């Protein structure tokens, strides 16, 4: 009996010791570094030195991402248009609708593997990094339509945010740069790299003959030639801006709006093809509702527009048979990562 009492008191003492030790750590060392796990096949992610990932920062960013408090009438969050089950695009809408019930002019983009994109965000590369991107949708009258001083005042008056900002950044003041940093931290954790194709690459799964045929057509320069731009493996894009001849004269001039250089008119950022089966409709204006239409476009539908990419200028129309196109689609379907869209770390907290 006595032994049990001694054992229990030792245990209690140990518990208290460790509890105190933890407590001490929290106040003296600040936020805890976030352990970003990069799947095989994706390179190390460049993280800006002035915004390292921390557990508290990512958590705050995640809460903000899903909080309608960032919109003018407190009804719309980033997550309203970027839904996890669709790899963070806006369901099957061609154009997302903002708080004033007005549609935008471009199709929502998926949000994952954004940390590897160092060549500009949005279809036209109008934002240079994840931090600065955050304020665009908040201010956009067709999206969340709010004013930054208003957003900051709402966050300061909130019952939880002051403590969450303090835990993440060690300061009592809530500012726009910290809001941008927190959301960017959360966005960098959105990593997708566990598709059937990824598992095939590490020998854990095999592809069917049709999927393998699609893969070889994808890389064959006289057939699909998708690989030139949607580079195989890793992020499935080189993030370059290109004119794919969607129209003979571009309606939305895309990259040209940003650089003001006429040779950039009609160029848009090459999107990733990971999770492509989940993100219909397709292209910057969401004009194609399924992958069949996309393949027909690349096979015969593209226009000899002024700035048409050189890889398409040389592509022979009608080079793909109906079966070829079905095979490429079968391959594209192996790029879906169901673990990513069900990962509870990315859902509304
Ligand atoms: C009303 C719908 C809507 C809301 C709300 C919204 N977005 Fe978006 N998002 C879009 C659309 C549409 C695009 C493409 C815009 C373009 O290229 O002009 C986009 C693009 C992006 C991109 C660029 C991705 C890439 O690969 O270049 C990021 C990042 C992003 N949004 C994050 C956010 C964040 C963070 C919030 C909240 C602060 C947010 N979005 C709120 C619709 C929305
Ligand atoms: C010359 C470079 C290039 C080639 C070659 C190319 N693409 Fe694209 N792809 C792009 C660009 C750029 C876009 C965005 C165009 C836009 O919206 O204006 C795009 C868009 C797409 C989209 C829509 C993605 C989305 O999120 O809306 C799909 C799907 C696609 N391509 C599949 C393919 C397939 C399959 C092939 C091969 C048959 C291929 N691409 C060949 C550059 C290319």
Mean pLDDT of 285-304: 98
Q: Residue 188: which of 66, 44, 58, 343 has the closest Cα?
A: 58
Output the CA torsion sign for 2, 4, 8, 14: positive
Contact 164, 320 (CB under 8 A): no
Q: Is the backbone peptide bond immediately before 100 cis, with ω within 30 degrees of 0?
A: no
For residue 77, give the ligand nearest its CA.
1
Mean pLDDT of 31-46: 96
Residues across the chain: 349
Task: Report CA(92)–ligand 2 centroid distance (Å).
Answer: 18
Using the predicted structure, report yes or no on whether residue 16 has a pLDDT greater than 70: no
Fold matches, 55-191 and 196-339: yes
| Angle in degrees, CA 47, 57, 186, rounded to 5 | 65
Using the predicted structure, report yes or no on whether residue 28 has a pLDDT greater than 80: no
Mean pLDDT of 41-50: 96
Query: How far is the C-alpha of 35 from the C-alpha of 46, rounded, in Å?
Result: 14
pLDDT in tens, 102-134: 999 999 999 999 999 999 999 999 999 999 999
What pLDDT does 132 receive? 97
Task: Report CA(304)–ligand 2 centroid distance (Å).
Answer: 16
Mean of per-residue pLDDT scores for the chain? 93
- Tell which CATH architecture fits domain 55-191: Orthogonal Bundle (1.10)
Using the predicted structure, report yes or no on whether residue 27 has a pLDDT greater than 70: no
Using the predicted structure, report yes or no on whether residue 12 has a pLDDT greater than 50: no
Q: Which of 298, 324, 333, when mutated, tests ligand 2's pocket best, judged by the most ligand atoms within 8 Å of its CB?
A: 298
Using the predicted structure, report yes or no on whether residue 29 has a pLDDT greater than 80: no
Pocket, ligand 1, Cβ cutoff 6 A: 70, 76, 78, 80-82, 96, 98, 104, 106, 108-109, 111, 114, 121-123, 133-134, 137-138, 143-144, 183
336 exposure class (CB count in 10 Å sphere: 0-12, 13-18, 19+): buried
Domain residues of the chain, as ranges?
55-191, 196-339
- Tell which CATH architecture fits domain 196-339: Orthogonal Bundle (1.10)
Contact 119, 169 (CB under 8 A): no
Higher-confidence residue of 23 and 221: namely: 221
271 lines ligand 2 (CB under 6 A): yes
pLDDT in tens, 155-185: 999 999 999 999 999 999 999 999 999 999 9
Q: Which atom of ligand 1 is nearest to the CA of 104?
A: 12
Helix axes 161-169, 176-188, angle to 10 degrees: 70
What pLDDT does 201 receive? 96
**pTM assigned to the model:** 0.92
Using the predicted structure, report yes or no on whether residue 60 has a pLDDT greater than 50: yes
Using the predicted structure, report yes or no on whether residue 14 has a pLDDT greater than 70: no
Task: Report CA(24)–ligand 1 centroid distance (Å).
Answer: 40
Q: Calculate the CA 34 to chain-centre distance.
A: 19
Mean pLDDT of 290-304: 98
Query: How far is the C-alpha of 226 from the C-alpha of 230, rounded, in Å?
Result: 6
What pLDDT does 248 receive? 95
Q: Which of 137, 178, 184, when mutated, tests ligand 1's pocket best, judged by the most ligand atoms within 8 Å of its CB?
A: 137
Contact 349, 64 (CB under 8 A): no
Q: How confident is the model at residue 24 (pLDDT cuts 50, 70, 90)?
A: very low
Mean pLDDT of 307-336: 97
pLDDT in tens, 194-219: 999 999 999 999 999 999 999 999 99
What pLDDT does 63 receive? 98
Task: Report CA(198)–ligand 2 centroid distance (Å).
Answer: 20
Q: For residue 242, what is the DSSP state?
A: E
Rg of the Cα trace of the chain? 24
Higher-confidence residue of 2 and 32: namely: 32
Q: Calculate the CA 190 to chain-centre distance.
A: 7
Distance of CA 52 to CAs 61, 189, 325, 328, Å? 13, 12, 43, 39
Mean pLDDT of 9-37: 60
Mean pLDDT of 288-314: 97
Lowest mean pLDDT among 27-41, 78-92, 152-166: 27-41
For residue 226, give the ligand nearest its CA.
2
Task: Report CA(224)–ligand 2 centroid distance (Å).
Answer: 11
Using the predicted structure, report yes or no on whether residue 9 has a pLDDT greater than 90: no
Measured between its terminal Cα atoms, the distance across the chain in Å is: 46
What pLDDT does 305 receive? 95
Lowest mean pLDDT among 6-15, 27-36, 100-109, 299-308: 6-15
What pLDDT does 13 receive? 45
Using the predicted structure, report yes or no on whether residue 323 has a pLDDT greater than 70: yes
């Amino acid at each position: 009996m006595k032994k049990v009492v001694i054992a229990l008191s030792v245990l209690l003492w140990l518990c208290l010791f460790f509890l105190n030790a933890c407590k001490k750590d929290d106040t003296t060392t600040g936020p805890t570094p976030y352990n970003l796990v990069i799947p095989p096949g994706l390179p190390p992610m460049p993280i800006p030195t002035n915004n390292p990932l921390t557990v508290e920062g990512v958590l705050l960013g995640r809460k903000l991402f899903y909080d309608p408090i960032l919109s003018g009438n407190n009804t719309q969050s980033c997550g309203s248009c970027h839904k996890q089950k669709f790899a963070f695009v806006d369901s099957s809408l061609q154009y997302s609708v903002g708080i004033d019930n007005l549609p935008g002019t471009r199709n929502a983009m998926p949000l994952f593997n954004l940390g590897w994109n160092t060549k500009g965000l949005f279809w036209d590369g109008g934002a240079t990094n994840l931090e600065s991107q955050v304020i665009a949708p908040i201010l956009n009258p067709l999206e969340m339509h709010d004013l930054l001083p208003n957003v900051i005042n709402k966050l300061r008056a909130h019952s939880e945010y002051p403590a969450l900002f303090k835990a993440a950044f060690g300061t009592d003041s809530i500012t726009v740069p910290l809001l941008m940093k927190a959301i960017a931290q959360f966005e960098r954790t959105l990593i997708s790299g566990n598709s059937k194709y990824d598992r095939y690459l590490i020998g854990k799964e095999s592809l069917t003959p049709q999927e393998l045929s699609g893969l070889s057509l994808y890389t064959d320069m006289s057939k699909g030639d998708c690989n030139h731009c949607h580079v195989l493996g890793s992020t499935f894009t080189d993030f370059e801006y290109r004119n794919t001849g969607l129209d003979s004269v571009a309606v939305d001039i895309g990259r040209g709006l940003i650089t003001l250089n006429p040779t950039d008119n009609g160029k848009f950022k090459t999107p990733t093809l990971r999770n492509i089966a989940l993100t219909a409709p397709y292209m910057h204006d969401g004009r194609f509702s399924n992958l069949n239409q996309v393949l027909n476009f690349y096979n015969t539908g593209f226009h000899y527009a002024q700035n048409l990419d050189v890889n398409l200028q040389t592509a022979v129309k009608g080079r793909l048979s109906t079966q070829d196109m079905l095979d490429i689609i079968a391959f594209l379907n192996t790029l879906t990562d169901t673990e990513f869209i069900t990962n509870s770390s990315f859902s509304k907290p």
